[in-house]
Chains A and B, each alone.
Chain A
Amino acid sequence: MANETSHSRFARGNFWTWLFEFFDHYGILILGAFLLVYPFLLQWLNALIFLAEDHDMMNLAYFLSRLRAFIPSTPLMIQIIIYAFFGIAFNVIMGYTGMLSLGHAAFFGVGGYTVGLMHHWFRPGSQVPSWITNAFTAYPLEISLISSVVVSALVAWTVGILASQKRGVYFAMLTLALSQVFYYAAQTFDDITGGTDGRGGLQNMRLGTLDLRVGIMDAEVTYYFIFIIVAISTAIIWQILRSPFGHVLQAIRENERRARNCGYDTNKVRLLAFTVSGVFSGLAGALAIIYGESVPIENIHFVTSGQVVIISLFGGTGVFLGPAAGSFIYWYLRQLMSTEFVKYLAIFQYWEMWVGGIFILIVLFLPQGILGTIRSWTVDYRTKRLLRALGQRQGEEVASQALGREVGDARP
């Protein structure tokens, strides 16, 4: 019985719920804009520090540089963005389809190895036919990135065909087994992959069409290059998840048998979702190589699969940007603990202990992750206020009827 007055009066929640919902609706855009200008913000902070020093404002300079120690550097942000992207790709099957995969490092690693191996095989002077090396030297990053997408798609499709028939924990263990086959293959065929040392010293990290050099020496350029690719891909994933296909994924997560009864071939849908997830995970892995200019074997090891699971759960698998928040928390805290906190208390060098402990606490007490919990608090708060207000409203109406006069806002 809510008319316009009660709707606007009761449904607003308070300032904090409004704030959260604002971010919930526009968060992706806000985050994108923030990340776009982030390197400039860092530069301004640095300029401010220099300015303060020039003007002999030493206290201010000191305060600002202490502050800067707590602000992620550009390389750290690159890593955060890459793993956020990895987490979002992983969340396509984890949060939206309800499939816990413990082997996503396989795709991350394969994407990375594709880039690394191409740069290694097709360098000038190798035994490959010269038309290949010439083409590659002209457009290295384009060729290797597109190849890594294609290879990841093939690998994800193949693994998906094998794995997506299974459900639940068996699916988890199968993905674990299959991904470890990739790891041990990378370790065993070490003349190709460089084994446990990985494949280092990659050269010619260049975007041919723009003649843009990326890599460790050019952190800012690399940042924007990676940011643009991640932004476009995230937009694609967002659209996929908003589409009818994305809703079928969620239907499968909620009740697969019912989805099947509605006529969807759930096995095919799961395979497709798995492939999409794998393709973008491979792209994330390729981007990770581009910055480091080397391929560490850890990228294809179970540890990386575990990292993406932790990251996604920290932030919340029920929220699109959950893994992004989780990636920030994970890498930021890890950096903070191992470089800053460790100065005060030596036990902080054991950051894995903290990560593992916090992870257990989150699974126990905040199973929806940080963003997911905030979202459900917001919903709870507004629902409670709405119900209380509705109850009050109906009470007023009944009282008005009974007393024959106006009580509160209601008329008899």
Chain B
Amino acid sequence: MPEGGILLEEFIQHLFLGLVQGAIYVLLALGLSIIFGLMGIINFGHGVFYMLGAYVGYTVINIGLIPVVGVNAAFVIALASVPLVMFGIGLAFEKYVMSRIYETPNARFSGVLITFGLSIFLPDFIRMLYGRPGKPLNIPPMLQVSLLEIGTLNISSYRTFIIAVAAVLVVLLWFLLFKTNLGMVIRAGTSNNTMVQVLGINVSRVWTQTFGLGIALAGFSGVMISPLFAVEPTMGDSILIQTFIVVVVGGMGSFVGPVIGGLIIGQLWALTPLVGRTEFVVQHLTGTLIGPSFWEKASDILLFVVMALILLLRPRGLFGQEGAFD
């Protein structure tokens, strides 16, 4: 009879992986939350913009930079250019497509539907341009070393890089939102959009820029994660719903919410398989519906159960605004 039990290295490894996943969730959720907070639109296209960012990064790296500047520099250039390109795409999409529905009575639904339509359009569009199988995007040599290896524990430098970059971005975003004029307008618009317009500020420009910012964050997350997982048209599907979970749990429209929510959900996602290996589960629950084999794959179900619970019990999330929804 197997005994179960988890080694310390395993536990720390999972914590670390949860932190990496959490970092990606944080970036995606911040983008989604900022867009929703200001514009009231739930961007169902967030997943495909994530995927698009990865493909833009792949394209930049593979248009012949490597022989010129070397793999490492090409990677850095790709990382730097993706947010700019995605920002532009976000600006264009908001200005020419999304803005048409703001004056309609069912603007929120229309926003959901348009972005949903985009989430169906883009993957096949990418398939047409790049083919159905995924594309490889490799970790640059400078980040392939392992920072720490103890037994089965392996802290890779690329994953640490992701965490570090995400942390820097969060700080930069905080700075943007709380210390700049644009950030002040965004926060004011999130709080009371009509008042901001009455005060004479060009709201449509702020909306366009905010949307672009959210999309840039999504695309950047996509290109950052792609050396770890393949670059393929469907990579945005599951991450979209997971991002919704993070934003709902953390709180729509807030800043702290997606950050804390992302970290929590990341850990939940990573640690759930470990539950199936604890002594308690192995010895008492093997063979039942919630035995070890259940917990191996239970991350997704658990995430949804948490989301449903939050929507039922505390709809505004941990840090959301009171009374925004019923």
A interface with B by C-beta (< 8 Å): 100, 162, 165-170, 172-174, 176-178, 180-181, 184-185, 187-189, 302, 306, 309-310, 313, 347, 350-353, 355-357, 359-360, 363-364, 367
CB distance from B92 to the nearest CB of A (A): 14
The answer to whether A174 and B301 touch across the interface, beta carbons within 8 angstroms, is: no
Of the candidates B104, B248, B297, B304, the one whose C-beta lies within 8 Å of that of A181 is B304
Which residues 280-326 of B sit at the A interface, judged by CB distance below 8 A? 289, 294, 297-298, 300-301, 304-305, 307-308, 311-312, 315, 325-326
A181 B308 Cβ-Cβ under 8 A? yes
Give the residues in chain B near A360, CB-CB below 8 Å: 97, 114, 117-118, 121
B109 located at the interface, meaning its Cβ lies under 8 Å from any Cβ of chain A in the complex: yes
In the complex the two chains form, is B124's CB within 8 Å of A352's CB? yes
- A180 in contact with B304 given A165-B326, A168-B108, A170-B325 (CB within 8 Å): yes
22 inter-chain pairs at a CB distance below 8 angstroms, sorted by A residue, are A167-B326, A169-B108, A169-B109, A172-B42, A173-B42, A176-B244, A177-B241, A177-B244, A177-B245, A188-B294, A350-B124, A352-B120, A352-B124, A353-B121, A353-B125, A356-B117, A356-B118, A356-B121, A359-B117, A363-B110, A363-B113, A363-B117
A contacts with B: majority SS: helix
- Measured in the bound complex, the distance between the Cα atoms of B109 and A168 in whole Å is 8
B-side contacts of A166, CB under 8 Å: 311, 315, 325-326
Nearest opposing residue in chain A for B294, CB measure: A188
Interface centre among A177, A178, A350 (most CB of B within 10 A): A177
Contact B110 A357 (CB under 8 A): no
**Residues of A contacting B42 in the complex (Cβ-Cβ under 8 angstroms):** 169, 172-173
Tell me whether B179 is interfacial, beta carbon within 8 Å: no
Say whether B307 contacts A353, CB under 8 Å: no
Does B301 contact A184, Cβ atoms closer than 8 Å?
yes
0/1 per residue, B227-244, Cβ < 8 Å to A?
A: 000000000000001001
Residues of B close to A167: CB separation below 8 A: 325-326
CB pair A174–B311 under 8 Å, yes or no, is: yes
Pairwise interchain contact B97-A174, C-beta atoms closer than 8 A: no
Q: B101: CB under 8 A from chain A? A: yes
CB distance from B55 to the nearest CB of A (A): 15
A174 contacts which chain B residues (CB < 8 A)?
Answer: 308, 311-312
Report how far A327 CA is from B97 CA in the complex, Å. 25
For window 90-113 of chain B, which residues contact chain A by CB distance below 8 Å? Answer: 97, 100-101, 104, 106, 108-110, 112-113
B116 is contacted by which of A185, A188, A306, A357 (Cβ under 8 Å)? Answer: A306
Given contacts A162-B308, A181-B304, contact A188 B127 (CB under 8 A): no
Contact between chains at B301 and A177 (CB < 8 Å): no
Using Cβ atoms and an 8 Å threshold, which residues of chain B touch A367?
104, 106, 110
A350/B128 in contact, CB under 8 A? yes
- Name the residue of chain A whose CB is nearest to the CB of B42: A169
Query: B308's contact among A177, A350, A352, by CB below 8 Å, is which?
Result: A177
Residues of B within 8 A of A168 (CB): 108-109, 325
- Say whether B122 faces chain A, with CB atoms less than 8 Å apart: yes
Is B101 touching A170 in the complex (CB atoms < 8 A)?
no
Chain A residues whose CB sits within 8 angstroms of the CB of B123 once the complex forms? 352
Min distance, Cβ B154 to any Cβ of chain A, angstroms: 28
Docked Cα-Cα span, A147 to B188, in Å, equals 54
